[in-house]
A and B are shown apart, each in its own frame.
Chain A
Amino acid sequence: MPVLSELDDIVSAIRLAHERATPLRIRGAGSKDFYGGLLAGEVLDVSGYRGIVAHEPTELYITARCGTPLAEIEAVLAEQGQMLAFEPPHFGGATLGGCIAAGLAGPRRQQAGAVRDFVLGVKLADGTGQVLDFGGQVMKNVAGYDVSRLIAGSLGTLGVIAEATLKVLPRPVAETTLVFACDADESIRRLNEWGGQPLPVSASFWHDGQLSLRLSGARAAVEAATRKLDAAAQPDAENFWLSIREQSHPAFASPLLWRVAVPSTASCLGLDGLRAIEWGGALRWYAGEPTAIRDAATRLGGHAVLYRAPESLRCLEGAFAPLSPALLALHRRLKRAFDPKGILNPGRLYAEF
């Protein structure tokens, strides 16, 4: 199938697949092909449906089509001193649609929130080829179920995100990064202690005995926090955080990588292979054997994603932590509500649908 650049063509392709009950694999830039479960079906390349539809700096939103590269969106926002506050990874040429579908946020997540926290509205082409508008462009909107936020992280299994509106925020006036030498346990302890104080912490990263802490906000606030914490400044901090966001930092260099989300105060899992700690302690990266990590994460009240691994292993283990039978049944019913024939990205989230 060619690259599609019109909504009508996307809709026609879905309708045809719906009639024939043949699976489609939705693709933007393909920068996150590694993520999630099986890649099945004919490629529906929506990267041609692109462009910024509206950006209202004083209304704090941007609306763009799914194929718009994040780089283009962020460049337009930067001109007005604004940003996507959840700091999404680009992994090359990531598009807006893929960013929302994957729901992956970057280092600033611990301060600003997740992708879904910034989704104000989506235009969705569902699994029957029907175009649906949910949410809108205003900050507060509780009319109807919040389907727009449900779409974030659904990996294309509920519909093709044709267009989306995101809340945007001003860039912080000042930013500085401090470095501390400490082990993993001490880093978790400190991060939680700082988290309970009114400090402008916007990102944290621990790896191999070194903890980096980014402070962002008003100049006076960053300066006051820097004095209080009394640590060395990290040189070339901007590129450092870019390497965390893009996972080009050596900590992520492993063919088998687990993304483990836990309550921020959870102790170290007692397992080998801890590569990094992010998000004030709530996100831990491990390289290592499959099941032990998943069980340990569950025990601590969290969950483990098999993040980078050969497709065969991801299919065998499941990329995401298994759902309880009752929750799985509910997921299937929701899937059917938007995609009755199960043609959109089947198996990408869970093998069962």
Chain B
Amino acid sequence: MTAPDHVFSTDRDALARRLQLFLPANCLLLGEEDLRPYECAGLTAYRELPLAVCLPETEGQVIDILRTCHELGVPVVARGAGTGLSGGAMPHAQGVVLSLARFNKILRVDRAARLAVVQPGVRNLAVSEAAAPFGLYYAPDPSSQIACTLGGNVAENSGGVHCLKYGLTVHNVLRIRVVSIEGEVFEIGSAAPDAPGYDLLALLIGSEGMLGVVTEVTVKLVPKPELAQVVMASFNDVAQAGDAVAAIIAAGIIPAGLEMMDKAATAAVEPFVKAGYDMNAEAILLCESDGTPEEVAEEIARVIEVLTVAGASDIRVSQSEAERLRFWAGRKAAFPAVGRITPDYYCMDGTIPRKRLAEMLSAIAAMEKKYGLRCANVFHAGDGNLHPLIMYDASQPGNWERAEAFGAEILELSVALGGSITGEHGVGIEKINQMCVQYATPELEAFHRVKTAFDERGLLNPGKAVPSLHRCAEYGRMHVHYGDVKFPELERF
């Protein structure tokens, strides 16, 4: 486990007594059998049992919980639907899980102003469903959108398959209401542009529950395009497919979605979903155009031209909405499909410059041999975000350790290629060591100072997202910053 900056030791009974003063029995879980379901989120390899789970129903209760934990020095881990893949919502052994599951109301959909005000426990897809009667929708669409919540999306700055054109959570949230660890309520951002002062909205989005707890979110809604169509192209060579992606961008096209899957991924998906993927191709590309029918026809024609020149061996265009959804169904079901062919899989989230794609994929192929594990690759190709799915069997001794080392090597290569260890899943507990590779001491110290400005005692989600310098020294693989020797002030062990 993590080597924290802060060490916590909580008197469980005293904490329970204090929480019981203001939380009704149905809002507080204390028994081990009740706590067990909360011991992990979407990343099941990391588990920890909390001391208590709070299920507040009002903002007043959230304030009271945070004030109490602040007073008693108890760690607080906020949780949405628990679909996160980086262990960001993994509980703290000495702390409380603050579940926002009951904050599940859509408070307002404003058709004229094109925005929705929702509670953080509202599911991502539910927002678009509520906006659909007005011809509007909420653009960010993480693959887990039927389950994941807006509060979690804000915490992780979630993306999706359409974010090259429509942006990430940070581009689509207008305002949040946040409670600080001291129980103070902040209104950040507004329906009016360019809120005065620092852009705290940008800072809080993606802060992984380390700076505050969100109790309300205002999101931007955009008009639903009249039409969307997908081009599916097959390639006999992965590098060629990567070059085709660059060629589309170079042609001045920003598609609504641009995704790639390698042969291992399509082989897993096709028997499961029957999406109609080309099983002989080394890689397939899915390229979506949306807009008016005229606009889509024009863009699709240009995309086909570029893909043909780039050497696609087969090109198909969705001829109906049902076919378009089927093409996407395969991509969106890639994770569960891989889950069917292996006891366990470990999903990575590195981002690299698109032009380094072929290099990365051949390195991953070499790593498959090195670690003796298979890997299927799905890729948000348009924005360089790679999701290698490392297949392993947790019941075999040493298997998980190999998968973890495999993943770490991919992330560290992402940094070396000029990219990032995480595009959209967050650092959480999973990539905490790789943060030492991504950032050098001065940046990590700056992050800790930002954290302190919001949460002086380090009670919100301790041990996540930003590693302590001691942890980095122990990890031993570090970012070299202007040739400096790293952590000269720390002992090595």
Contact = CB atoms under 8 A, between A and B. Distances in A.
A147 B453 contact: no
Interface in A294-342: 301-303, 305, 320-321, 323, 326-327, 330-331, 333-334, 336-338
Given A140-B351, A326-B186, A150 B246 contact: no
Given A137-B353, A138-B419, A217-B291, A170 B252 contact: yes
Contacts of B159: 140
A336 B171 contact: no
Interface string A131-143: 1111011111111
Central interface residue in A60, A143, A195, A320, by most chain B CB within 10 Å: A143
Interface in B410-431: 418-427, 431
Interface string A12-51: 0000000000000000000000000000000000000000
A283 B193 contact: yes
Given A139-B383, A302-B192, A336-B453, A152 B199 contact: yes
A149 interface: yes
A140 B420 contact: yes
A143 B422 contact: yes
Interface stretch (B19-27, B275-283, B436-444): B436-444
Given A220-B297, A263-B191, A60 B249 contact: yes
Interface stretch (B43-51, B99-107, B160-168, B259-267): B160-168
A61 to B, nearest CB: 9
Given A114-B193, A170-B254, A261-B193, 13 more contacts: A58-B354, A136-B418, A144-B435, A144-B443, A149-B203, A150-B198, A198-B292, A200-B295, A217-B291, A221-B292, A221-B298, A330-B186, A334-B450
Interface string A192-218: 100111111000000000000000011
A224 interface: yes
B491 interface: no
Given A146-B203, A264-B113, A334-B453, A117 B193 contact: no
Contact of B135 (A196, A266, A323, A336): A196
A249 interface: no
Could you say which of B194, B223, B383, B426 has the most chain A C-beta atoms within 10 Å of its C-beta?
A: B194
B206 A145 contact: yes
Nearest to A121: B420
A109 interface: yes
B421 A59 contact: no
Contacts of A103: 194, 199
Interface string B208-245: 00110000000000011110000000000000000000
B193 A198 contact: no
A143 B443 contact: no
B384 interface: yes
Contacts of B353: 56, 59, 137-138
What 3 A-B pairs have minimum CB-CB distances, sorted nearest first?
A220-B294, A149-B202, A170-B252
Contact of B112 (A149, A265, A303): A265
Chain B interface residue bracket vs A? 35 or more
21 contacts: A130-B442, A132-B443, A138-B353, A140-B351, A141-B351, A141-B420, A142-B423, A144-B427, A149-B203, A196-B112, A198-B292, A219-B298, A221-B294, A221-B298, A279-B193, A303-B196, A323-B196, A326-B184, A330-B200, A337-B446, A337-B450
A138 B249 contact: no
B184 to A, nearest CB: 5
A280 to B, nearest CB: 9
Contact of A147 (B224, B422, B446): B446
A217 B193 contact: no
Nearest to A263: B191
A123 B142 CA distance: 30
Contacts of A303: 190, 192, 195-196
A59 B354 contact: yes
Contacts of A153: 194, 198-199
